[in-house]
Amino acid sequence: MGVALVTGASSGLGREFAEQLAGRGHDLVLVARQADRLGRAAEELRARHGVVVETVVADLADRSQLQRVADRLADPGRPVDLLVNNAGFGSRRGFVRNDLAEEEAAVDLMVRAVMVLSHAAGRAMRERGRGAILNVSSVASFAVMGHYSAIKSYVTVFSEALATELAPHGVTVTAVCPGFVHTEFHQRAEMDMSRLPEALWLDAPSVVREALAAVSAGRVVSVPSPVYKAVVGLLRVVPRRLTRGVSGSLATRRRPKDRTG
């Protein structure tokens, strides 16, 4: 079934991607920052599915550590058939209120790392004439919801452009754009999501199944769930000024106080 490399693989959607890919018989290269959690995930997957699991402990916001993962993707002797760019994080503060260092780290992790790893994988896959890249974006990429929205807009548009470039070479690129998903994502960012209606929440296994189905079908952009497909359809036709107004109002009402405030 080939080899899949998954970033942010120790928890959340990344852990679910690893689980489902292993269940389909893929050997894995798992990348994450926390060695202990990554090691436990690898042991569980080997025991449950009998697949080969390699681990790479790396902080992808660090350029030298990112390069180690890029070198693994480029290694012609150990080809990777599917790259899943999943690593990321959110912030509970607005752009100006937040520390600039955290915003720079977000760009390094969710823009630069996606670019560097896609470049390494794309080149190697193009030479072999096969392969797939799956970039985890967000419904926020179609909206106006702060710096995170801008970052994910890059991921979606970049994926579309790269898909066009690599299609003649037998390589597919897919951006999956989920809405709110039940994972550790919002808890780690210390976001208060208690007022969000349950109807807007997705479960990780369903999101991952739909994302992998989109990869298999060669779809360039995948929006899981009918609810969010409708949301994105609306966002595509509503005047941008209205989108800005609604998104700004929602962000203001949801934003918690700073811990120092």
Output the pLDDT for position 186. Answer: 42
pLDDT value for 92: 72
Residue 70 falls inside a structural domain: yes
Kindly report the number of other CB atoms within 10 A of residue 182's CB atom: 15
The two three-digit tokens of residue 223, written as one number: 């929006």
Residue 232 forms part of a structural domain: yes
Q: Are 201 and 256 in contact (CB under 8 A)?
A: no
Residue 260 lies in a domain: no
Instruction: Answer yes or no: is 250 within a domain.
Output: yes
Higher pLDDT, 90 or 257: 90
Per the domain annotation, does 240 fall within a domain?
Answer: yes
- 33-50 pLDDT, tens digit per residue, is 999 999 999 999 999 999
**Please, what is the average pLDDT of the chain?**
88
Assess if residue 14 is contained within a domain.
yes
Inter-CA distances, 152 with 25, 49, 104, 178, 185, Å:
30, 33, 14, 11, 15
List alpha helices for 141-199, DSSP H.
146-166, 185-188
pLDDT at 191: 46
The residues assigned a catalytic role are 148
Bridge-based pairing state of the strands 53-57 and 171-176: unpaired
CB count within 10 Å of CB 50 equals: 9
The number of distinct structural domains making up the chain is: 1
- CATH number, domain of 140, equals 3.40.50.720
- Going by pLDDT thresholds of 50, 70 and 90, the confidence category of residue 261 is very low
Q: In this model, does residue 240 exceed pLDDT 80?
A: no
Residue 44 belongs to some domain of the structure: yes
Q: Is 177 part of a structural domain of the chain?
A: yes
Backbone angles phi, psi at 24, to 5 degrees: -90, 0
Closest CA to 37 of 47, 45, 25: 45
pLDDT tens, residue by residue, 124-159? 999 999 999 999 999 989 888 789 999 999 999 999
Residue 88 domain boundaries: 3-254
Instruction: Please give the residue that has the higher pLDDT: either 112 or 181.
Output: 112
